[in-house]
Chains A and B, each alone.
Chain A
């Protein structure tokens, strides 16, 4: 039986109209509409477009959440195995809508999602992590090139076949690292690359050095006497026994722990969940990583206004930047809500 595919297009490709019809509300039609015909040919019977969603670009852009929810509902009953959108070429709003729908469908139904765009379409940067975006020319003249490439990748994904490099498959690099077994040992590959570099020959690095967000240090706190100080650590300090089961590496969560009335962290009360450093000394005395004792002294001496009664901890070891960002955003929200004015971050 052929795989079931749902296709998303805008009002223009559905033949409804141009800009004047861009507020067209979402509708779903059975079977193919517009460019779906070309896909039908390219799928060669292995996959079938069971339904086509049509939505005006302006409508989608102005009502993103509502339109997305509505379209997800429309799609559900067609039980798709894959979702394709566009191709949108260099049309910005259409590209954004295709990307957004791909991301939403992928999240909701966990099926392959494929779209096509010109590399400079703003939808690419926004959604390439969530969808396969086939690189297309900048206008509909490129339809004949885009459709076979999108169809081919869709079928590969549907069949669970391994997906090759962007240049082999024609999609825009998503920035997602994927493991594979090479023919040679990594050691041999490294010496090969070394020799090429020595000789001034061409070589392709296996990993392009990342570019990091840099955060400028904040100005110093002027009035420490009235500051409410919180402590946050990636050193894994938690109540003894690690009640939240924060992972020793690659943490999926952070913990929030009350230290009301706690003047000192001891080996009886606290430990570390961290698996990436010699934890012996943190387990003996967790103040070494999370200096509650010293801050209580300073609080008593009036050096600081107050030590916040909660601390936050996660494990930095092997934890992805994406998770760390998520934790950071949530912790900050809670700190701000609690009236904290300055934070000491400790790492290990």
Chain B
């Protein structure tokens, strides 16, 4: 498999007559974009598109998901297969990427989850999406009493459609793109190459606990899968999509799936430090039987592949800690070495246990920080969305929003702040 990412580097955004890319500027035809997303009868009339640029005194709240605009210009299938495109296999050919740009879905809250993105100030330090040029969709349901699952889906599809539309509209751009080439061997070839290096894999845990805790693989609700194998290149074409965020800090955004930094780093070190032969996706369902079945199945796959080690990333916290720990000790008992990537809920004072489960085999653990740590976010000049939701979202409390417009919340409320795909530099240490 070979995939070329053709990256157009977006430096600025503006609204204009024709959506397209020139000289670092992405021009967005707002009416056309609105027309595309408002096709959905589940979305209301008062939907809008706004722009938020790095450094601006802008706050976006509540944010549901972040998506990088991509569009396949060559090869089978199309981005976000099974969601807004056919179900054909992706991961080969050429994909156009509007690098440095993101679509944010915001607007009326689905439920107590969802996050905050500040484009400047202290909050901006914690979210990767303060550094992207953001096209913000401000959404609402057509019926305020609509089933929340339906509204969640409408928001999810709107974001994906917008991201695909923006990239598709730039496919004819004559601007030069930077090309990154990724190659990934089939398992037989992979296994037979690099005999001197350990064979390793990536166990990619996907959160699947219901509304706002879900993830989709080729359009399939991941809570309904048994663990399976996927090529890292498929992930880059949007084979994995977020069902919007629960606690915003550590629900993997679609953007972070598309740009999964663990995959990026493992591909980079493939052939030097190890032989990266497989990526296994698994779920995090709520029942004990499901946890046991999936962890046994996922680690069995790793064992059947003869892997010497796996990197395991968790998604979410608390209940999924149990899945992480089962995956860890079950792999280790097969003799497969593990390194874990998680985040922490050690209390606002940092003095409580960080995880809800543990095992002695988890002796190589990297964390993306304590999500309970409190941060003060000064008032911004512009708020896209509804600032008062700070009082109810996960990480906030009654009184989080002050009269002066500043917000005091736990890092939990900041989108992507403790990404367990490791997409930030945040971590923690013990005082």
Contacts and interface: CB of A to CB of B under 8 A. Distances in A.
Interface of A: 129, 163, 165-166, 171, 173-191, 193-199, 203, 205-212, 245, 247-250, 252, 273-280, 316-323
Contact of B366 (A163, A189, A250, A277): A189
Contacts of B347: 250, 320-323
Contacts of A165: 429-431
Interface string B124-140: 01000000000000000
Interface stretch (B31-39, B67-75, B234-242, B259-267): B259-267
Question: Ordered nearest first, which 6 A-B pairs have the shortest CB separation?
Answer: A278-B210, A187-B422, A320-B347, A186-B422, A245-B398, A194-B339
27 contacts: A163-B431, A173-B430, A174-B430, A175-B431, A176-B346, A177-B430, A178-B350, A178-B428, A179-B426, A181-B125, A185-B265, A188-B261, A190-B311, A198-B337, A205-B364, A207-B354, A209-B355, A209-B362, A210-B354, A212-B358, A245-B398, A248-B112, A249-B395, A249-B410, A274-B112, A276-B247, A320-B347
Contact of A184 (B340, B371, B425): B425
Contact of B354 (A166, A177, A185, A196): A177
A177 to B, nearest CB: 4
A322 B349 contact: yes
A196 B212 CA distance: 36
A188 B422 contact: yes
A248 B394 contact: yes
B262 A205 contact: no
Contact of B352 (A163, A189, A322): A322
A207 B344 contact: yes
Contacts of A207: 342, 344, 354-355, 365-367, 428
Contact of A190 (B125, B148, B422): B422
A245 B397 contact: yes
A212 B423 CA distance: 29
Interface string B326-358: 000000000001111110111111111111001
Size band of the B side of the interface? 35 or more
Contacts of B366: 186, 189-190, 193, 205-207
Nearest to B342: A207
Contacts, number: 259
A232 to B, nearest CB: 18
A60 to B, nearest CB: 25
B111 interface: yes
A278 to B, nearest CB: 2
A203 B264 CA distance: 22
Contact of A185 (B362, B363, B423): B423
Interface in B112-154: 112-113, 125, 147-149
Nearest to B392: A248
Nearest to B398: A245
Contact of B425 (A181, A198, A199, A209): A181
A162 to B, nearest CB: 11
Contacts of A203: 364
Contacts of B344: 177, 207
B421 interface: yes
B423 A321 contact: no
Contacts of A173: 430-431
Contacts of A245: 391, 397-398
Nearest to B344: A177
